[in-house]
Structure 1
Amino acid sequence: MSFKFNEPDIKALDSVLKPFSSVGKEWMLVSSGTSEKYPQYNTMTASWGGFGYLWEKPVAHIYIRPQRHTFKFSEKGELMSLSFFEPGHKKALAYCGKISGKDEDKAANCGLNSVLLERDLIGFKEANLILKCKKLYTSYFKEENFISSQEPEMWYSNKDFHRIYICEILGFYTK
């Protein structure tokens, strides 16, 4: 299965991505790694994130907790991919969200096949859409910056605040 690279114009992105349901309901895989020792990468399931327009660029914002195995790969590299799948892959995505890549090749063990799309950009053969993202900005959530105490109490009882990555969408791959 080969993928076609598409330029990241807004009209094209609007036609292939549903910003709320694609992430919040259907989920995505966030992947980072290197092609130097491929397959040295990790992926994780995300149901938090979003898309918009910032600094005159189409962007994605991605959240990763520091204890996730994907975190160390995301910190090292410049690129990340966001892979989206048809609804029939929800069981595989759930598996990639529960199992650590430190312990096994979780993608392969749930039936997903990683592909090297280009240097340091990993996606999945089964995905129907893969966004190529370049990190622009990153920072941790800070407890003192929350307006309400409800979110830190509900989501961060261990004080393990997410790191946010704002990434430029450089283009996307479709089948």
Structure 2
Amino acid sequence: MRIFKQIVIAACAALAFAASIHAQSPAEGWTKMNPTELKNAVELFANDKAALAVGKEGDLNATTMSWGSIGELWGKPIVTVVVDHSRYTYSLMGLYDYFTITAFPKKMNGALDYIGSHSRKTDKNKIQNAGLTTMFTELGNPTFKEGNLIIECRTIYEAPIDVDNMLDDDIIKMYQDNKLKHTMFVGEIVNVWKR
């Protein structure tokens, strides 16, 4: 009898886990994965193109990003992103608790170039004009149907990047010459999907 109960408990747990994976998938064809399975984090930000999206339906924006990292901090899997203060996305990052990073196949590079070079301040339909289709996670956060990897994050830390704390002369010069102002956001990874 004890073994039977253990089998029933294990079967119920397996069904609950399977249901939770399906319930949190942004759409059909997506598979949930563990953040520790993420590969080539440097390549994602340095060579490939990814979109940072934030907001809710009716009030969202996305931009192309290339400054960031994936790792572990304070015992949590995290993504770090750097957002320029002049970007509309920056204002939304302060309003919402979550953001997503969506990676795309190479054929979508033109769309990512478009959202990175157009501002929602002047192009209210920039996401649609780029040929991207917005969809939402179970938590209500924006991402894109055309992507092949989604990382959903809850912001747990933000801080302005301070030139006075920089130690590399080339980076200091880049910030001073271009009068750059950025804030670094650290997001705890709460969901990852791939297809």
When normalised by structure 1's length, the TM-score is: 0.89
More helix by share: 2
**Is 1:138 equivalent to 2:158 in the alignment?**
yes
Greater shift in the superposed pair: 141-150 or 151-160:
151-160
Alpha-carbon distance, 1:43 to partner: 0.3
Residue from 62, 66, 72 that aligns with 2:91: 72
Greater shift in the superposed pair: 22-31 or 142-151:
142-151
**Is 1:92 equivalent to 2:137 in the alignment?**
no
Classify the secondary structure of the residue corresponding to 2:45: helix
State the match for 1:20 in structure 2. Answer: 42
State the match for 1:153 in structure 2. Answer: 173
Residue from 73, 81, 88 that aligns with 1:54: 73
Residue from 126, 135, 138 that aligns with 1:106: 126
Equivalent-residue separation in structure 2 for 1:9 and 1:150 (angstroms): 33
Equivalent-residue separation in structure 2 for 1:27 and 1:156 (angstroms): 26
Letter in 2 for 1:77: Y
More strand by share: 1
Aligned residues with identical type, % of pairs:
24
Greater shift in the superposed pair: 20-29 or 112-121:
112-121
Structure 2 residue ranges without an equivalent (≥5): 1-26
Letter in 2 for 1:2: E
Equivalent-residue separation in structure 2 for 1:116 and 1:173 (angstroms): 13
Q: Which has the higher contact order (CA 8 A, sep 6+)?
A: 1
Partners of 2:98 and 2:155 within 8 A in 1: yes
Partners of 1:79 and 1:120 within 8 A in 2: no
Residue from 185, 188, 191 that aligns with 1:168: 188
Equivalent-residue separation in structure 1 for 2:109 and 2:35 (angstroms): 28
Classify the secondary structure of the residue corresponding to 1:112: coil
Q: What is the alpha-carbon root mean square deviation over aligned residues? A: 1.6
Partners of 2:163 and 2:175 within 8 A in 1: no
Letter in 2 for 1:74: M
Moved over 4 A (4+): none
Equivalent-residue separation in structure 2 for 1:57 and 1:146 (angstroms): 25
Equivalent-residue separation in structure 1 for 2:171 and 2:139 (angstroms): 38
Structure 1 residue ranges without an equivalent (≥5): none
Q: 1:128 to 1:116 in 2, by over 3 A?
A: same
Letter in 2 for 1:23: F
Structure showing greater radius of gyration is 2
Letter in 1 for 2:34: P
Partners of 1:7 and 1:170 within 8 A in 2: no
Q: 1:158 to 1:120 in 2, by over 3 A?
A: farther
